[in-house]
């Protein structure tokens, strides 16, 4: 059985991304993303909490400003982060760093680079890929 926080966050990230990409109004998806923000503390993986605390509000701000491409890019970057220990066991840091991160960065021009707060979460992303308890 999936925990409620898992369903809320996963649904908000994936549904919001898809709806925005397909032309829905930001007003339709911002409430979903705000609900997900309220569930971040329920995630048992501290690195994922750190990442979502920085990146999900950025997707919300981008949507509020009407910058749909940025909102979709951020949501796409977040869509497969592990939310549970079981998902973490199957999650691939190598795939994330080789495919997800460059794809995300490639979507931005020089005026649209991720914020410093967002980039400071990269250590949390690496921590997700380390064995339980950290250390390489």
- Of residues 136 and 79, the one with the higher pLDDT is 79
Residue 40, SS3? helix
Neighbouring CB atoms inside 10 A of 51's CB total 24
What are the CA-CA distances from residue 114 to residues 74, 75, 87, 99, 128 (Å)? 9, 13, 26, 17, 20
Domain boundaries, the chain: 4-128
Tell me the pLDDT tens digit for each residue of 45-68.
999 999 999 999 999 999 999 999
124 and 50 Cβ atoms separated by less than 8 Å: yes
| pLDDT score at 7 | 86
Tell me the pLDDT tens digit for each residue of 77-129.
899 899 999 999 999 989 988 988 888 878 766 556 666 777 778 778 888 88
pLDDT at residue 130 above 60? yes
Indicate the pTM of the whole model. Answer: 0.84
């Amino acid at each position: 059985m999936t925990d409620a926080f898992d369903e809320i966050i996963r649904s908000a990230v994936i549904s919001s991304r898809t709806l925005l990409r397909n032309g829905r109004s930001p007003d339709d998806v911002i409430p979903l993303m705000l609900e997900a923000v309220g569930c971040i503390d329920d995630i048992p993986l501290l690195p994922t909490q750190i990442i979502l605390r920085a990146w999900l509000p950025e997707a919300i701000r981008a949507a509020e400003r009407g910058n749909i491409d940025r909102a979709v890019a951020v949501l796409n970057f977040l869509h497969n982060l592990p939310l549970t220990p079981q998902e973490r066991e199957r999650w691939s840091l190598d795939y994330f760093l080789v495919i997800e991160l460059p794809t995300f960065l490639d979507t931005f021009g020089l005026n649209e680079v991720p914020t410093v707060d967002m980039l400071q979460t990269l250590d949390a992303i690496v921590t997700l890929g380390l064995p339980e308890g950290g250390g390489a």
